[in-house]
Amino acid sequence: MANLIFNVKPKTKGSVKNRPFFFVQINRFDRKKKIRNSCLHPALFLVALLAGTAHSENGSRLWLRYVPLEDTALTMYRGRITQVVIPKTQPFTTVREELISALRTLLAKEISVVSSPSQDGALIAGTPDTCPLISSSVTASELEALGDEGFVLRSTTLNGYSVTLLAGNTPRGILYGAFCLLRFIQTGHSIDIFDLHQKPKIQKRLLNHWDNLDGSVERGYAGRSIWNWNDLPKKIDPRYKDYARANASIGINGTVLNNVNAQAQILTTEYIRKAASAAEALRPWGIQIYFSVKFTAPVEIGGLATSDPLDPGVQLWWIEKAKEIYSHIPDFGGFLVKAYSEGQPGPQIYGRSHADGANMLAKAVAPFGGIVMWRSFVYDLSIDTDRTKCAFLEFVPLDGKFAPNVLVQTKNGPVDFQPREPFNPLFGSMPATPLMLELQITQEYTGQAQHLVYLAPQWKEVLDSDTYAKGPGTTVAKIVDGSAEGYLLSGIAGVCGIGTEKNWTGHHFSQANWYAFGRLAWDYTLSSEQIAEEWIRMTWSGDQKTVNQIKKMMSGSWEACVDYMTPLGLHHLMAEGHHYGPQPNFVHPVREDWSSTYYHKADSGGIGFNRSSAGTNAVGQYFPPLRQLWDDPQTCPEIYLLWFHHLPWDHRLGSGLTIWQALQAHYQRGVDYVQFMQDTWDALDGKIDKQRYEHVCQLLTMQLKNAIQWRDTCLNYFGGFANPIAKKQTDN
């Protein structure tokens, strides 16, 4: 729907006034006027496709393409891996097959599987239980430090042969280590003389699917749901394995199969059976499954008269339900709950709190090691008229009241996955509760599957934000990984937009966000650039020049999106419903906080939401010194200025520009960047396989059009307030 609307060219007929506001295009700033309809005529496109079949790629192999290395790259690994020692027993089958087939393809040669090393270049993989060579080469304390998921990769000498050791405590650790080694080889990283110890920083690393049981995907832009509920449990789509393998390769260890706007049906025996067979396909890759559950399930499918969490009958229903689930899915992960938010029911219906609800579910799954992820995405405006304050006001008083196996799952910012938000003030304010970070991989508010927007820098900004909760250095990352308070239970979730499209994510570059999420969940200290470089080398090309060009495109793409959509701390200017294009004049007939005007508050007096101590005092929910710094427009970072302040149009920034001039500059900068991405991609013609190259070409053309539309629509609208003021000043 969104895309259709956006594709429509402004008609010449009819009154401009009668058209939705965002159709109006003003090319005032369109200096280069280089907007093409497509890189290639459709007929030529077809010819190119047919001609290039041998080299055409559809993106379905993601970053696991395992392209045979070219001669120069091969020299680097010559003699390094010639044979593999790995257990032949069941839990190692997955990793053994992956490792051997990948090595044979990448290194273009026979790799023999042997029971003990007989020449230089043996790769010895296993746990101390399966392989005595491991216990003799890796100390017990080294192994202990690795935990269940870690691994050691080490070049060493054994029985006189130079070998590579891949050791861990579990098959899962070996699987992650194998993918690490394969990544090194695919990205031209040396595997000589290294001694690498790795384990994930965060325990539960989950994708959240917002997939409905009818196959539709809320905020999904890549086709239908990959979960074929109609075919399950009998038919297992081969894509489940591909999905699980891709996730394992980046360290993701769990997935919530269904939408947080949940249907009670998922808890029926029929669906539990279906889910159990999907779980079987994912298990070999270390992926546990979880359900989003509807709080009123006991009434809806259990035939009870109430779903009150303090009612013993309701408690028993959940206990029995958990038993049933675990009898089919012994490694079931647990429940995710959206309660009392956007129409979803919650314990509040019965006058109970979030903690009452969460703890009832937690008790049911606790005997099996399950967890409950209770979302803090609530904004009941009767609690406070500033939406950003609501979750804090509801949840902070409950700190310490949640059972130990409950995580409070919290979005990165206090509104809703906007292009940029300050971090959510709940981080640091609930020390007695483990908080799970929820990020959005599907680009609901950042151009969906049409725009190239690499989100790792956004996530890094959040993770690296200092909350000052326990003094300087208490970053969001340290709260999320549990280290700030010493929690063992920790989690991070990424709302994914994976669907039935061949390339999984719609835009080939949206795959990078899936990849980056996994890599950051494993180790948030990795830089966005490093992650991008790995991904590009595995996904597009190993040619350094090409890699550098694509990396340049990606690195500034998020900031560009912020610039052309919502610069200087603006937020939620998106059109209603689909959240794709701009609609700054939108006023919702019923809910004030679903209106764009509620967020920007532009009028002749200025622009921005006054959340300072003189306004709603949302800034007071942050710890000092942020509270003071952000309270004062002179010290508030420009990136959050209009988030916290309502300022006159002629207010001067540090740069000497007025707010109005700065807004114009940002919107233009965003457009220029998209133009730069398009020019850079154009120059890569011939360096990238045709099919994917052309697809990205077309999307960049669309993105440029859209960026211009964003700029023009917003500046046209805000100019209505700002220009008379600017004019008055020039006249004076």
Strand 254-256 and strand 204-209: the pairing is parallel
Out of 183, 338, 460, 646, the only residue in the binding site for ligand GCW (CB under 6 A) is 338
Least separation, in Å, of the C-beta of 580 and ligand GCW?
12
Name the residue among 700, 645, 532, 685 with its Cα closest to residue 52. Answer: 685
> Is 444 one of the binding residues for ligand GCW (CB under 6 A)?
yes
Which of 97, 195, 270, 342 is catalytic? The answer is 342
Residue with tokens 């001669």: 71
Least separation, in Å, of the C-beta of 528 and ligand GCW?
23
> Is 594 one of the binding residues for ligand GCW (CB under 6 A)?
no
For this structure, is 342 an active site residue?
Answer: yes
For this structure, is 97 an active site residue?
Answer: no
Backbone angles phi, psi at 610, to 5 degrees: -80, 95
> Is 243 one of the binding residues for ligand GCW (CB under 6 A)?
no
Quickly list H helices, 586-689: 596-600, 626-631, 641-644, 659-682
Closest CB to ligand GCW: residue number: 416
> Is 211 one of the binding residues for ligand GCW (CB under 6 A)?
no
Least separation, in Å, of the C-beta of 447 and ligand GCW?
15
Which two tokens mark 206? 């989950």
Q: Which is nearer to ligand GCW, 260 or 355 (CB)?
A: 260
Q: What is the DSSP letter of 31?
A: S
Angstrom distance (rounded) from CA 232 to CA 464: 42
Burial of 417 (0-12, 13-18, 19+ CB in 10 A): buried
Q: Which is nearer to ligand GCW, 291 or 487 (CB)?
A: 291
- Each residue 351-390 as x (binds ligand GCW by CB under 6 A) or -, in order, gives --------------------------x-------------
> Is 417 one of the binding residues for ligand GCW (CB under 6 A)?
yes
> Is 630 one of the binding residues for ligand GCW (CB under 6 A)?
no
Which two tokens mark 630? 């952000």
Angstrom distance (rounded) from CA 645 to CA 631: 8
Cβ atoms of 449 and 443 within 8 Å: the answer is: yes
For this structure, is 416 an active site residue?
Answer: yes
Angstrom distance (rounded) from CA 611 to CA 646: 8
Residue with tokens 């055409």: 56
> Is 480 one of the binding residues for ligand GCW (CB under 6 A)?
no
The SS3 assignment for 460 reads helix
Angstrom distance (rounded) from CA 439 to CA 437: 6
> Is 221 one of the binding residues for ligand GCW (CB under 6 A)?
no
Which of 57, 211, 438, 444 is catalytic? The answer is 444
Number of residues that bind ligand GCW (CB under 6 A): 11
Name the residue among 395, 313, 384 with its Cα closest to residue 348. Answer: 395
Instruction: Report 251-280 residues binding ligand GCW (CB under 6 A).
Output: 260-261
Q: Which is nearer to ligand GCW, 87 or 497 (CB)?
A: 497
Q: Which is nearer to ligand GCW, 344 or 664 (CB)?
A: 344
Angstrom distance (rounded) from CA 221 to CA 169: 39
Q: Which is nearer to ligand GCW, 219 or 705 (CB)?
A: 219
> Is 219 one of the binding residues for ligand GCW (CB under 6 A)?
yes
One-letter amino acid for residue 531 of the chain: I
Least separation, in Å, of the C-beta of 422 and ligand GCW?
17
> Is 441 one of the binding residues for ligand GCW (CB under 6 A)?
no
Which two tokens mark 623? 């710890």
Q: Which residues contact 235 (CB under 8 A, 6 or more apart)?
A: 228
Q: Under the phi-then-psi rule, with left for phi > 0, alpha for psi from -120 to 50, and beta for the rest, what region is 342? A: left
> Is 578 one of the binding residues for ligand GCW (CB under 6 A)?
no
Least separation, in Å, of the C-beta of 395 and ligand GCW?
15
Query: What amino acid positions are annotated as catalytic residues?
Result: 342, 416, 444
Residues that bind ligand GCW (CB under 6 A): 210, 218-219, 260-261, 338, 342, 377, 416-417, 444
